[in-house]
Amino acid sequence: MPQAHLTLDPSFRIAPVDRRLFGSFVEHMGRCVYTGIYEPGHPAADDNGFRTDVLELTREMGVSVVRYPGGNFVSGYRWEDGVGPDRPSRLDLAWRQIETNAFGLNEFMTWTRAAGVEPMMAVNLGTRGLQEACDLLEYANHPSGTQWSDLRVKHGVTDPYGIKLWCLGNEMDGPWQIGHKTAHEYGRLANETAKAMRIVDPGIELVLCGSSNSGMPTFGAWEATVLEHAYDAVDYLSLHNYYEENGDLPGFLCSAVDMDRYISAIVATADHIGAKLRRKKKINLSFDEWNVWYQSRFAGRERLPFQEAPELIEDTFTAADAVVVGDFLITLLRHADRVSIACQAQLANIIAPIRTEPGGPAWRQTIFHPFALTARHARGMVLRVEPSGPLLETERYGEAPALSAVATVEGSRVALFAVNRSPDQDLDLTARLPAAVRPVSATVIAAGDDPHRVEALPQPLTVQADGDRLTARLPAASWTMILAECSIGDEV
């Protein structure tokens, strides 16, 4: 049986767990908003039209931040259409939809409060610019006494929202983006918009668009150029990436290797520009779209008829997808020193952990479980654990470690998250801790026996303790969470 080892040591600190790593994303796309989170007339809808079944699942998932309203949608969006009594229907060119604007900023903000999540707003830098971004910020965050803030008050919202997180556009490097720009055009616009927005509200945090994914022809160069323009004006740089199996299960199970390399490359690029500009300030990362997405099954928007809330990319996820999502969360935690925000895309129906039927039930997909368990149990300080063990040979990524792992520690409470990426071999794991350890519980999602099944409820896993060691057999293609008690000491 292949063996793997790891060491849990309080001096291997990465960073405190930032709750913002457990973010999600609500876009006006398909049925994410309409018949997803919002469905007036549904038996479970509250007085605001919010589906309380979806609200409950969102809270159960432990979602911390929700990015809104897009995505590609935001690059053609007029935010004013979604506030006040007059809500015009418009063509949404991003997804060829008819947007009724029944749900807008104020509905979203009421929903975030019901869900207990922090809002993360995106401004339109595709068809619009600096002025409209400042108008929206003034409407949302300025107390009163100006046209836009008084309009908010007139719309029944007396107190300013104080929205902190703002994205400067979405995927502006992508030729598919409405109002796509070159890196120089976007970098300048983002810098000027950021400076002006900070005058409206100095308390905001700003996210600059990085590449749409690591396969873009301008990847790397885009980040360097936009950062040269906007380094001083922004706080974070965004990353997006989606992964799919494409008939290559062994490679797919190692997807987090790519996520890991992508993050390291962007950290290096951001620090290179920081050094070149001789800045002490570090730019941290916002991985604000990540997930499994079976993009090869999506025919593309060109063939879509214009429709209201169409059924769009409602992927059904498998046990293997749950394992890969668990590994993405491990990877994000392992980079918690530089990745400050992460949003799984999206929350409901669109490539989502939560699915709904119009007028019918809401349910959890396989990928719901590793997210909910990690969000609930990753607490305190993130520790790297120096895993060692067999290497896997993959066509996609070359050599990849079979074991991926990270730990968090809060007082004497230890949570260890591990993935065995081997599609067909179990792995005997030994974890060495700094003192005697007592296992509290262990949970596994194993995909090895039937990776494509669409149910993957977490199951108990047997763990042995012997003094300062924990041992467990990690099944092939599995995600595991071990909770334990151990006197780690005061160092953490």
Instruction: Give catalytic residues, as residue numbers.
Output: 171, 289
Contacts of 379 (CB under 8 A, 6+ apart): 17, 408, 410, 413, 415
Q: What is the dihedral of CA 342, 285, 380, 402, to 10 degrees?
A: 80
Rank residues 193 and 213 by Cβ distance to ligand AHR and give the closer one.
Answer: 213
One character per residue 396-435, x = contact with ligand AHR (rule: CB under 6 A): ----------------------------------------
Rank residues 29 and 476 by Cβ distance to ligand AHR and give the closer one.
Answer: 29
Q: What residues between 252 and 311 interact with ligand AHR by CB under 6 A?
A: 289
Q: How far apart are CA 399 and CA 392, in angstroms?
A: 6
Mutual angle of helices 52-61 and 105-115, in 10-degree steps: 60
Token pair 């998250």 is found at 417
**Residue among 9, 27, 132, 315 that touches ligand AHR (CB under 6 A):** 27
Rank residues 70 and 439 by Cβ distance to ligand AHR and give the closer one.
Answer: 70
- Type of residue found at 301: R
CB of 241 to ligand AHR, least distance (A): 10
- Type of residue found at 428: D
Residue 53 interacts with ligand AHR (CB under 6 A): yes or no: no
Rank residues 167 and 465 by Cβ distance to ligand AHR and give the closer one.
Answer: 167
Rank residues 212 and 408 by Cβ distance to ligand AHR and give the closer one.
Answer: 212
Mutual angle of helices 105-115 and 130-141, in 10-degree steps: 50
Q: How far apart are CA 369 and CA 456, in angstroms?
A: 8
| DSSP symbols for 176-226 | TSTT---HHHHHHHHHHHHHHHHHH-TT-EEEE---SSTTSTTTTHHHHHH
Of 65-73, 98-106, 402-410, 440-448, which segment contacts ligand AHR by CB under 6 A? 65-73
CB of 178 to ligand AHR, least distance (A): 11
Q: What residues between 200 and 219 interact with ligand AHR by CB under 6 A?
A: 212
Binding residues for ligand AHR, rule CB under 6 A, total: 11
- Type of residue found at 11: S
CB of 226 to ligand AHR, least distance (A): 16
Rank residues 58 and 212 by Cβ distance to ligand AHR and give the closer one.
Answer: 212
Q: How far apart are CA 458 and CA 104, in angstroms?
A: 36
Of 69-77, 111-119, 321-329, 467-475, which segment contacts ligand AHR by CB under 6 A? 69-77
**Tokens representing 304?**
């879509």
Which residue, 404, 469, 463, is CA-closest to 431?
469
Per DSSP bridges, beta strands 437-446 and 236-243 are: unpaired
Of 67-75, 118-126, 387-395, 467-475, which segment contacts ligand AHR by CB under 6 A? 67-75
CB of 257 to ligand AHR, least distance (A): 22
What is the chain's length?
Answer: 492
Of 70-78, 120-128, 262-270, 436-444, which segment contacts ligand AHR by CB under 6 A? 70-78
**Residue among 70, 169, 387, 423 that touches ligand AHR (CB under 6 A):** 70
Rank residues 190 and 433 by Cβ distance to ligand AHR and give the closer one.
Answer: 190
CB of 95 to ligand AHR, least distance (A): 8
Residue 97 interacts with ligand AHR (CB under 6 A): yes or no: no
CB of 211 to ligand AHR, least distance (A): 11
Q: What residues between 229 and 248 interact with ligand AHR by CB under 6 A?
A: none
Q: How far apart are CA 458 and CA 444, in angstroms?
A: 5
One character per residue 154-173, x = contact with ligand AHR (rule: CB under 6 A): ----------------xx--
Rank residues 18 and 173 by Cβ distance to ligand AHR and give the closer one.
Answer: 173
Instruction: Say if CB 442 and CB 482 are below 8 A apart.
Output: yes
Q: What residues between 316 and 345 interact with ligand AHR by CB under 6 A?
A: 345
Residue 71 interacts with ligand AHR (CB under 6 A): yes or no: yes
Residue 138 interacts with ligand AHR (CB under 6 A): yes or no: no
**Residue among 124, 318, 346, 374 that touches ligand AHR (CB under 6 A):** 346
- Measured between alpha carbons, how far apart are the two ends of the chain, in Å? 34
CB of 186 to ligand AHR, least distance (A): 15
Q: Exposed, middle or buried, 281 (CB in 10 Å: 0-12/13-18/19+)?
A: exposed
Reported as half-sphere exposure (CB side, CA atoms, 13 A), residue 130 has a value of 15
Residue with CB nearest ligand AHR? 71
Which residue, 83, 138, 90, 124, is CA-closest to 105?
83
Rank residues 193 and 344 by Cβ distance to ligand AHR and give the closer one.
Answer: 344
Q: How far apart are CA 486 and CA 484, in angstroms?
A: 7
CB of 73 to ligand AHR, least distance (A): 6
Rank residues 49 and 210 by Cβ distance to ligand AHR and give the closer one.
Answer: 210
Residue 72 interacts with ligand AHR (CB under 6 A): yes or no: yes
Contacts of 194 (CB under 8 A, 6+ apart): 168, 206, 208, 230, 233, 234
**What is the three-state SS of 259-324?**
HHHHHHHHHHHHHHHHHHCCCCCCCEEEEEEEEECCHHHCCCHHHCCCECCCCCCCCCCCHHHHHH
Contact residues for ligand AHR (CB under 6 A)?
Answer: 27, 29, 70-72, 170-171, 212, 289, 345-346
